[in-house]
């Protein structure tokens, strides 16, 4: 099946969004580890709380981000608009989380 392109920029935009999402999730994981180790914050996700502040935390965040990006890409092949909207949403959410963590880190 051929990938559809539309007014949202097509496959190139989806690839860029996927890369941005993975970078933001990895950045969030790195900053969260710093915040936890310094005692400034704690992990809010109950599933990740036991491993937060450890090296495995970053690996889990990165693998999870890559899986999400691949899943969104798979959705994009069938429903490009839905995948683009979901990708913009998740990039926006993680941008806000990363900014929040940076504010905590530097305050």
Tell me the pLDDT tens digit for each residue of 93-107.
Answer: 999 999 999 999 998
| DSSP state letters, 15-54 | HHHHHHHHHHHHHHHHHHHHHHHTTS-----TTTGGGTTS
Tokens 């959705």 sit on residue: 75
Tell me the pLDDT tens digit for each residue of 40-78.
Answer: 998 888 999 999 988 899 999 999 999 999 999 999 999
Helical pair 80-106 and 55-78, crossing angle rounded to 10 deg: 160
């Amino acid at each position: 099946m051929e990938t559809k392109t539309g007014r949202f920029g097509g496959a190139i935009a989806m690839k860029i969004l996927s890369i941005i999402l993975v970078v933001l999730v990895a950045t969030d994981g790195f900053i969260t580890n710093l915040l936890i180790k310094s005692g400034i914050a704690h992990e809010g996700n109950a599933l990740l709380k036991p491993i937060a502040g450890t090296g495995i935390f970053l690996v889990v965040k990165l693998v999870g981000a890559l899986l999400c990006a691949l899943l969104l890409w798979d959705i994009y092949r069938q429903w490009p608009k839905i995948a683009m909207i979901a990708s913009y949403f998740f990039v926006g959410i993680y941008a806000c989380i990363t900014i929040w963590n940076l504010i905590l880190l530097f305050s």
